[in-house]
Amino acid sequence: MRNAFLGELFELARADSRIVFITGDLGFSVVEPYMNELPNQFVNAGVAEQNMTGMAAGMALSGKVVFTYSIANFPTLRCLEHIRNDICYHDANVTVVSIGGGFAYGTMGATHHATEDLGVMRMLPGMTVVAPGDPLETRAATRALVEYTGPAYLRLGKAGEPLVHEDVPQFELGRALRVRDGGDMTLISTGGTLKLAVEAAEALAADGVSARILSMHTLKPLDEAAVLEAARETKAVITIEEHSIIGGLGSAVAELLAEANDVRTRFRRIGVPSRFSPRVGTQEYLLAENGIDVANICRTAGELLGAPTRSAARQ
């Protein structure tokens, strides 16, 4: 996702001198083409993310289209007051980009586990929150955010994420992508868990369960119509996210379903419990430790549908 974002932004910046990329002293080995060819549109703010955020707000209020960039928690939680007061309060045209969302930097411990960022950013007034599901969604999201005006948050994985889509999808901020049709239940994913949702749907299909998949690449504004349609047309809904079950996709969908007068679907959230991870390890290891895997998705589906699935035992 990181390389897809940087490649797309580089191409767009070549054609639009308003686009400015500010890094918090990282990305070297991948940002050099941008830095060398477009030095007037590139700033290394150093390990000073609050300063980076203030600089971005000032540039945006001067007519620039600004992207800030750092690892996971650092351009978000470390800069929260500056994002709130400098960017959101002034409706500044800044996109805060984090790489390594969730457990992508799992071996570096809780300081680098970004499992609260979506909820925190979602609460900020005026903030659009985007978490694409694969590199092709990332390219489309980058293009959409360049065209968008206002505060935004773009949450990415690290590198090497698999493609889910065969081609760049028809992407629109605030509109979920239906990746797979299904009539028995719905899996709603945000960010890099989209591949898990697809694998779980394929496993469920072997048990005769037809699962719809929605890629909820925009968490705010949420595609309420797509969620409510799924809740009315299928028997159960499961949200899947590499994020705390509090404040993120699961919370957003639960809030919507709780206030809908004509929806009685069964619902579960799959995500990270509200705790710091007591272990370090690879991203895959930490996902499994927190039940964010195909086996638990299939198990949860069986519980909601009232018929345990053989696919859960096979995983």
Q: Is residue 165 part of a domain?
A: no
Q: Is residue 12 part of a domain?
A: yes
87-112 as b/e: b if 16+ CB within 10 A:
bbeeebbbbbbbbbbbbbbbeeeeeb
- 314 closest CA partner among 208, 187, 200, 238: 200
Same domain, 40 and 131: yes
| Count of domains forming the chain | 2
Q: Check residue 312 and give its pLDDT.
A: 60
- 126 closest CA partner among 87, 100, 97: 87
Task: Report whether the peptide linkage leading into residue 221 is cis, meaning its omega lies within 30 degrees of zero.
Answer: yes
Same domain, 12 and 87: yes
Same domain, 292 and 212: yes
Same domain, 60 and 147: yes
Q: Is residue 73 part of a domain?
A: yes
Domain at 188, CATH number: 3.40.50.920
Same domain, 17 and 151: yes
Cβ partners under 8 Å of residue 311, min gap 6 = 200, 203, 204, 206, 207, 294, 298
- At which residue do the structure tokens 């690879």 appear? 282
Q: Check residue 250 and give its pLDDT.
A: 98
Q: Which of 124, 155, 186 is the last residue of a domain?
A: 155
Same domain, 121 and 242: no
Q: Which of 120, 155, 190 is the last residue of a domain?
A: 155
Q: Is residue 161 part of a domain?
A: no
What CA–CA distance (Å, rounded) separates 244 from 90? 29
Q: Is residue 131 part of a domain?
A: yes
Q: Check residue 311 and give its pLDDT.
A: 63
Q: Check residue 181 and give its pLDDT.
A: 97
Same domain, 151 and 189: no
Domain, as residue range, for 139: 2-155
- Which tens digit of pLDDT belongs to each residue from 197-225? 999 999 999 999 999 999 999 999 999 99
Same domain, 29 and 125: yes
Same domain, 115 and 200: no
Domain at 41, CATH number: 3.40.50.970
Q: Is residue 167 part of a domain?
A: no
Same domain, 27 and 102: yes
Q: What is the block-wise mean pLDDT of the chain (315 residues), using blocks of 10 residues?
A: 95 97 92 95 96 98 98 94 98 97 93 96 98 97 98 92 91 97 97 97 96 98 98 98 98 97 94 92 95 97 84 60
Same domain, 117 and 191: no
Q: Token pair for residue 59?
A: 């540039």
Q: Which of 93, 124, 155 is the last residue of a domain?
A: 155
Q: Is residue 65 part of a domain?
A: yes
What CA–CA distance (Å, rounded) separates 8 from 148? 15
Same domain, 6 and 136: yes
Reported pTM? 0.96
Q: Is residue 296 part of a domain?
A: yes
Q: Which strands, in side-by-side order, build the sheet including 236-244?
A: 177-180, 211-215, 185-189, 236-244, 266-272
